[in-house]
Structure 1
Amino acid sequence: MKSKTYLLLEFFIFFILLPVSLAIDFLIWIKVGYILAAFIYILVTLKKSEAISFQIKKNLNWKTFWRRIAGTFLLVLIATTIYVYVVAPENLFFVPLNNPLLFVVILCVYVVFSVWPQEIIYRTFFFERYEYVFQNKPLLVFINAIVFSLAHLFFKNTLVLVLTFIGGLMFGFTYLKYRSTTAVTIEHALYGNWLFTVGMGQMLAFPGIEPV
């Protein structure tokens, strides 16, 4: 285990400095380069220092997992449908109804290239790495929600920051309960894909959401 000073410096670089820099306008290829470098560092660190095997847990209680998120997902489904219907009814289910092929492609790409890497970084790496530093678990989850919201600062959208903070709290508690990247990735994918489905995808820069 690294020293607390080293871990705090690492935390500052990866979870404060890097996401804030993404909100600043400069060459996209530079951003892509250091994001990939950071992700490789995280994967190597998880494998070597934290002994993460990247295998699906065989003893996970999936029944309790699905029961845990079913009620919350139903509330999100109802609330977001009402929100889109009131605020932008022309967007309601626009993509699945008008471009089903794009809809399926985006769902798959989003899970593989956005949700899974985010959960590796913001849940698996964060909790396995910094639980030693922030030993109070509610505080640990709260900090995780803050930095997860900060990771979406480049969208420059207040609603996105609020939603990702709430999502960060939910996903943080899920990871602590199950210690499963797979479980928390499924939960994250459900909510993210639903936002795209219901018509809120423009907030998250999904293509094809704007009605003609």
Structure 2
Amino acid sequence: MVAEFILVFFVLPVLFAFVKIPGGPIPILLVLTIVVAFYFRRARDFERRDLWRAEALRPALPRILRLWALAAVLAVAAVWLFDREHLFDLPRHNPGLWALIVLAYPIVSVYPQELLFRAFMLHRYAKLLRTEKVAAGFSAVSFGLAHLLFGNPVAVVLTLLGGWLFARRYQQTRSLLTVCAEHAAYGLLIFTVGLGRYFYHGTNFGGS
């Protein structure tokens, strides 16, 4: 169990950072999603309602929105101060791609990531990680390492912070839907304000 945990969530993410992956990380993420889905079908001690639990979203929404609004102000201010030419570059220069990301990102990226790094990790290795805060810490670190493949510290630091936030939210709500909504909100903020190039595996999609 320990070897499996280290291999899946620490060795492989670091390895992917140094190996060119055809098609980027999304195909691998979707394959892992299928594997994890089969695992949950067979896991008798897992509460499948945790994969949705829509009733948990509304009570958590005010806190989520307050924190997101603060993050939005800070993100806009940071890009305006330090990288002004890229502020809102994707919706300004490539609105078609931006609209596609708005529609596809929550489905093909957010849900698979949360299924793997939150629902699967926090359930399968609960006894190994022992406490919720320790588990959230490992989830955050592994989530940050998985973004090493983008080759910049911005992606790693932001996903490290996000990984902690999303892990704690999942532990508090037991609702993957709630966590996915929060994750999608932050991801779309990043792609909107001008930070998206730090999370894109390929050529620059901005206009500059």
TM-score, normalised via structure 1 length: 0.87
> Where do 1:132-211 residues align within 5 Å?
132-205=127-200, 209-211=205-207
User: Per the alignment, do residues 117 and 133 of structure 1 end up closer, same or farther by CA in structure 2, a change over 3 Å counting?
Assistant: same
Query: Could you tell me how far apart the structure 1 residues matched to 2:20 and 2:58 are?
Result: 46
Further displaced range: 71-80 or 94-103: 94-103
Measured against aligned partners, the alpha-carbon deviations of 1:134-188 in whole angstroms (never above 9, x if no partner) come to 1111111111111110111111211111111100110011000111111101100
Matched, 1:8 2:2: yes
Further displaced range: 23-32 or 166-175: 23-32
Further displaced range: 111-120 or 62-71: 62-71
Gaps of 5+ in 1: 1-6
Whether the aligned pair in 2 keeps the contact of 1:95 and 1:197 (CA below 8 Å) is yes
User: Per the alignment, do residues 104 and 36 of structure 1 end up closer, same or farther by CA in structure 2, a change over 3 Å counting?
Assistant: closer
Query: Could you tell me how far apart the structure 2 residues matched to 1:29 and 1:67 are?
Result: 37
> Where do 1:1-212 residues align within 5 Å?
7-26=1-20, 28=22, 37-49=31-43, 50-51=45-46, 53=48, 56-60=52-56, 62-205=57-200, 209-212=205-208
Partner SS, residue 132 of structure 1: helix
User: Per the alignment, do residues 151 and 73 of structure 1 end up closer, same or farther by CA in structure 2, a change over 3 Å counting?
Assistant: same
Q: May I ask how many residue pairs the two structures share in their alignment? A: 205
Query: Could you tell me how far apart the structure 1 residues matched to 2:76 and 2:151 are?
Result: 23
Give, in angstroms, the shift of residue 52 of structure 1. Answer: 5.1
Whether the aligned pair in 1 keeps the contact of 2:13 and 2:146 (CA below 8 Å) is yes
Give, in angstroms, the shift of residue 98 of structure 1. Answer: 3.0
Higher RCO structure, 1 or 2 (CA under 8 Å, sep 6+)? 2
Gaps of 5+ in 2: none
TM-score, normalised via structure 2 length: 0.88
Give, in angstroms, the shift of residue 45 of structure 1. Answer: 1.0
Further displaced range: 26-35 or 15-24: 26-35
Partner SS, residue 107 of structure 2: helix
